[in-house]
A = this chain, B = another copy of it.
Amino acid sequence: MARRTGRRPGNPGTREAILDAARAAFADRGFDAASIRAIAAAAGVDPALVHHYFGSKDQLFLAAMEAPVDPRELLPGVLAGDPDAIGQRLVRTFLTVWDSPASAAGVALLRSAVSNEWTARLLREFVVTQVLRRVLDHLDVDPAELPLRGSLVATQLIGLAMMRYVIRLEPVASTAPETLVATVGPTVQRYLTAPLPALRDGAA
C-alpha cells in the first residue's frame, strides 16, 4: 500500500502541501490571479479543504508568507564589519535569500503588492520596519536624512528584485551574485552613507 508523492490519503502533510502549492501559485501569478482551485489541484486536494484549513484566501496568503526568512537573523551579519562595505554585504545577503527557495514568498509578495493594496501594505511594512529601519539605526548619519536614504535603497533593491526575479530581464536575471554585489553594492552604500547635499526638501 505504497503512497505516491502527489496524493495524500490521510491528513499527514496536507496542510503543508497546500502551503507549498499556495506559495508557488502566489509567486507565479500574484495574489489576485492565483486561484484557490488551482492551488488545491496542485496540492492534490479538494478546493473545499483549503477553506477548511485556512478559512479565506487572505488568510491562506498570510500563512504562506509566514516564516520564510527572519531579517533579525540576517542583519547582524550585514551590520558587522567594515562600515564602508555595508552596501555590498546588504546586497550579498539580499541575493542569497532571493536566490534560495525562500524567494517564492518574496516574489509572491512583490507580484501581489503591485495589484493589491493590502498586500502592498504588507510589503511596505516589511521593507520599512523589518529591514530598512534596522539597518539605518546603525548608521552614523543625520537622522533627518534617514527616510530618504531608506527609500533610495528600496528603489534599488526592489528594482533589482523586480528585474531579476519577476520581469526576468536578461542578463541581470542570470548574472552571478558577486557581479551584482560589486556593481550595485556601491550604489546602496552611497545611498546609506554618502553626503546628500540636496536633501532637505525631500521629506514627505
Contacts and interface: CB of A to CB of B under 8 A. Distances in A.
Contact of A115 (B111, B120, B173): B111
A190 to B, nearest CB: 7
Interface string A133-164: 00000000000000110011011111110111
Contacts of A164: 155
Copies of the polypeptide in the assembly: 2
A29 to B, nearest CB: 6
Interface string A172-192: 111110110011101100110
Contacts of A147: 170-171
Contacts of A120: 167
A101 interface: no
Interface string A189-204: 0110000111101111
A145 B48 CA distance: 52
Contacts of A32: 32-33, 115
Given A29-B115, A127-B169, A154-B163, A202 B175 contact: yes
A7 to B, nearest CB: 30
A97 interface: no
A156 B156 CA distance: 5
Contacts of A171: 147-148, 151, 202-204
B169 A148 contact: no
A75 interface: no
A151 B158 CA distance: 14
Contacts of A186: 190
A154 B173 CA distance: 12
- Interchain residue pairs A-B with the least CB separation, the first 4: A159-B159, A151-B172, A155-B159, A171-B204
6 contacts: A32-B115, A154-B163, A155-B164, A156-B187, A170-B204, A187-B187
Given A111-B114, A174-B204, A183-B199, 6 more contacts: A32-B32, A32-B33, A111-B115, A124-B167, A151-B172, A156-B156
